[in-house]
Structure 1
Amino acid sequence: MAAGLALALGLGVTAQASAGSPRSVSGKPSDNITRIADFYGAYIDAVTDEGGDKLADELRKHYLTPAFQKELAAWEDKNHANGVLQAQNVPLAWKVTDNGTANYTEAVVTLTWGSGTTKLIVDMTRGTHKIFHIGTTGVEAG
């Protein structure tokens, strides 16, 4: 009999897999780590899929504070890159890890590229469940 494997993706989010059985992913809307993971999963799908620009814009409107949407647009104009991903390309994979804090939720989002990873810090309000900051950690692995 094959042993099961459980991987913690964040608070309230778990993927489970066993040899020969399907994986499952769970989460809850009250958990900000779930919300950040949902946003990055849907956003990366949207920018990867042909014609997904409208969906990517709608996801930004839903998950980001209005003030941060403006700040991100200015960053994108200056850097000629996607502000959510802090890059010009789309990653091959992503992982969200709770980084904790007292007044808001801070997560580390690890984006995996063909040549390594980039780590982003993503901050979300506890009350409105909106992202108000995305920035790089300054650490990249090759």
Structure 2
Amino acid sequence: MFEKIVVGFDGSEPSERALTLACDMADKYGSQIHLVYTPQPPTVAYAMGAIPGYQTAAIMPPVSEVKEANEKVMAQGASIVEGCGHTLTDTYIKTGEPGDVLVNYAEKCGADLIVLGRRGLGALGAIVQGSTSLRVNHIAKCATLSVV
């Protein structure tokens, strides 16, 4: 039923739950798992939490620190997938509006399902702009699953 599952992952607890659920579904359906991360100031700040001053970042840190944060987030996701007995098919990192990046990647790889946490690290911005899960549910051309 689901050959390719794209998971939006930002390192937050909801995204960890979404990834774990995607792995469970991959067990059932023999699915590939694709991990997508769209670095945003709050998610990079979270990944770089040990560095003073980034806990409340409103702008993107320097490129070298963003790269390090990207690696940390993807390593965290890969660890979850491996812990569930799977191997990641692909990882994709791209800056931009997270909902658009997720949907565009899902279309590009021919995904049957997009799974993401309902409340990630961008929760404050969601109050003003709307949530990523709402955006994905609105524009995706495949099935979507928002995990609480």
| TM-score (norm: length of structure 1) | 0.29
Higher helix share goes to which structure?
A: 2
- Structure with the bigger RCO (C-alpha within 8 Å, sep 6+) is 2
| TM-score (norm: length of structure 2) | 0.28
Higher-Rg structure is 1
Higher strand share goes to which structure?
A: 1
